[in-house]
Chain A
Amino acid sequence: EIVLTQSPGTLSLSPGERATLSCRASQRVPTSYVAWYQQRPGQTPRLLIYGASSRANGIPDRFSGSGSGTDFTLSISRLEPEDFAVYYCHQYGTSAGTFGPGTKVEIK
């Protein structure tokens, strides 16, 4: 099983700042099949990124994904108030996909 570690656990930033979230895998993720989801409090997870860097339908271009191998990054160029949420990375390169524990982006 590929174990995903996300850092930091909590990121305290102000609106307008740039957020950089890290996801590290315990072994190489085949085909860089990594997705990122946003979950606002009390809401359903929302797909942001798939295939490490492809934005899902309707996702603003301030969200971008990058990485390969074992290291992946989600960047939010300028934080909007609605971006303060928990973000999960997810690898689906193996048949039993796994999720990271999440990074909470909170208002500083």
Chain B
Amino acid sequence: QLQLQESGPGLMKPSETLSLTCNVSGGSINSGRHHWGWIRQPPGKGLEWIGSIYYSGTTFYNPSLKSRVTISVDTAENQFSLKLSAVTAADMAVYYCATSIRGFTPGAGFYFDNWGQGTLVPVSS
């Protein structure tokens, strides 16, 4: 059974760079069966896709966050990571990692099958 677990820094200050890691267990990140993604949810609000990555390193980003986001993969450690630069209070959210399944048609995005438990990232000065 595939399991995903986020880990991160806890409290962030405005302008800092957020770094999160998702550890994958119960399967290999380079199996090629999935992409791997990040989604966030501000407290009491809805969901927002941040971006996804394939084990080869090919990345896909939400245009609204693209200028501040970097997603990378470490196949040796069976994990993938998120960096979000110049955080503000608007970036305070629960951050989830999840398996991303891409639609078959050209230009399609991803849906999310298997989710981690999520990690709350507060942003405060």
Contacts and interface: CB of A to CB of B under 8 A. Distances in A.
A and B interact: yes
B107 to A, nearest CB: 6
Interface string A74-108: 00000000000000101111111111111000000
Interface residues of A, number: 25
Interface of B: 46-49, 60, 62-64, 96, 101, 103-105, 107-113, 115-118
Given A31-B104, A33-B108, A96-B63, 20 more contacts: A31-B108, A33-B109, A37-B112, A46-B115, A47-B112, A47-B113, A50-B101, A88-B46, A90-B111, A93-B108, A93-B109, A95-B109, A96-B49, A96-B62, A96-B109, A98-B49, A99-B47, A99-B48, A100-B46, A102-B46
Interface of A: 30-31, 33, 35, 37, 44-47, 50, 56, 88, 90-102
